[in-house]
Amino acid sequence: MNRLLLLPVLWAFTLIACRDTTPEEPPTPTPYVFQAPEGFPPFFDPEDNKTTIEGIALGRKLFYDPVLSGNNTIACADCHKQENGFTDPRRFSIGIDGIAGHRNSMSLINLAWQHRLFWDGRAHGLEDQALFPIKDPIEMHETLGNAVAELQAIPEYRELFWQAFGTRQIDSLLVAKAIAQFERSLISFNSRYDRWKQGLDTLDKSEMNGMQLFMDPVKGGCAKCHSFGAMFSDFLFRNNGKDSIVTDMGRFSVSGLPQDIGAVKTPSMRNVEYTAPYMLDGRFATLEEVLEFYNTGFHLGPHTDPFMSTLVKGRLNEKEKRDIIAFLKTLSEPDILTNPAFSKPQ
């Protein structure tokens, strides 16, 4: 046999011979690259949990898998539904024991840019947050030990953890890391508004007027809190005057500061068209109701954000309210509702 031909044959033999003796090299996961568009803050990719294609794939499977809940009936996705912008169309989500919580579920879009999670910001970062709902007695009501043991018993999961993290030994930290990676990949940056900003689309008169009103500190007064930056929120905690007597203490239960009584995280306005019902307790079914609240319905109490007292009641007429809503809808990105990369894996 020709010597040149022999070489690959010998090489193949050596490989086979070595197989049993050398430890298996962990695979190198493929980095996930997201180039934030102009105006967006840079994509947050923590040093100790870099987002990878394999990590996202694992996190996505976990997100849709009821195995993480106590009786294996509820997945994250049951209260964060893709077709509703990753929130829950029910006012209060129902957990595994049929008990409803007392807060409306939140959208999971663009979380890569947020570090204090939940309405009251009690979780710090997505890795920290991910284990809360699993343990929550009203939500998934499972012990982490049990959840991990169940995953460990499933060969497919052992393989996916190997691909993503180079180990088949599953633990809750890795579960949290994978879910966080999937959540970071849920990004919306391509609404009509974004395309308009890039000169690729037009907005009509009503939408343009709505934008002006939204920004105007006297007329709409919205951008004061739902800032006019890329996220349409500064994610600070505020009491927007929903009640004259505060029933949910909000941020106060975390910070203990009197100015935080009834204050909650200011939500982003992106995709708000899809995330009804609105507010911490889902009290408003439509954007029309929300606009009427900001026009006439807010209460000025000792804990209400001081900016609210600068807003004149009844300042917006019907057309102006409609225009603001028309503008809000330019921040919608219908693709996120069906994007197969965000959907339940087959």
**Dihedral Cα 307, 308, 310, 311, nearest 10 deg:** 140
Query: Closest distance between ligand HEC and the C-beta of residue 304, in Å?
Result: 8
Considering only residues 144-183, where is the footprint of ligand HEC by CB under 6 A? Answer: 179
Q: Which of 308, 326, 331, 336 binds ligand HEC (CB under 6 A)?
A: 308
Task: Provide the residue type at 45 as one letter.
Answer: D
Nearer to ligand HEC by Cβ, of 52 and 105: the residue is 105
Residue 59: partners with Cβ closer than 8 Å, 6 or more residues away: 177, 178, 179, 180, 181, 182, 183
Alpha-carbon distance of 264 to 102, in angstroms, equals 14
Helix (H, G, I), strand (E, B) or coil at 87: strand
Query: Closest distance between ligand HEC and the C-beta of residue 77, in Å?
Result: 8
Nearer to ligand HEC by Cβ, of 53 and 225: the residue is 225
Query: Closest distance between ligand HEC and the C-beta of residue 223, in Å?
Result: 8
Nearer to ligand HEC by Cβ, of 120 and 194: the residue is 120
| 139 lies in the site for ligand HEC, by CB under 6 A | yes
Stretch binding ligand HEC (CB under 6 A), from 13-21, 40-48, 191-199, 221-229: 221-229
| 140 lies in the site for ligand HEC, by CB under 6 A | yes
Nearer to ligand HEC by Cβ, of 226 and 329: the residue is 226
| 208: phi then psi, degrees, rounded to nearest 5 | -65, -40
Query: Closest distance between ligand HEC and the C-beta of residue 105, in Å?
Result: 4
Nearer to ligand HEC by Cβ, of 208 and 225: the residue is 225
DSSP 302-346: TTS-GGGGGSPTT-S-HHHHHHHHHHHHTT--GGGGT-GGGSPP-
Considering only residues 222-251, where is the footprint of ligand HEC by CB under 6 A? Answer: 222, 224-226, 238, 240, 242
Partners of 94 in the β-ladder: 100
Helix (H, G, I), strand (E, B) or coil at 52: strand
Helix (H, G, I), strand (E, B) or coil at 265: strand
Q: HSE, CB side, 13 Å, CA atoms: give it for residue 35.
A: 2
Query: Closest distance between ligand HEC and the C-beta of residue 20, in Å?
Result: 39
Considering only residues 75-134, where is the footprint of ligand HEC by CB under 6 A? Answer: 76, 78-80, 93, 95, 101, 103, 105-106, 108, 111, 114, 117-119, 129-130, 133-134
Residue 124: its H or E element: strand 123-124
Q: Which of 40, 232, 274, 294 binds ligand HEC (CB under 6 A)?
A: 294
Closest to 209 in 3D by CA, of 294, 322, 331: 322
Nearer to ligand HEC by Cβ, of 165 and 274: the residue is 274
Residue 50: partners with Cβ closer than 8 Å, 6 or more residues away: 31
Residues that bind ligand HEC (CB under 6 A): 68, 74, 76, 78-80, 93, 95, 101, 103, 105-106, 108, 111, 114, 117-119, 129-130, 133-134, 139-140, 179, 220-222, 224-226, 238, 240, 242, 264, 266-267, 272, 275, 278-280, 287, 290-291, 294, 305, 307-308, 324
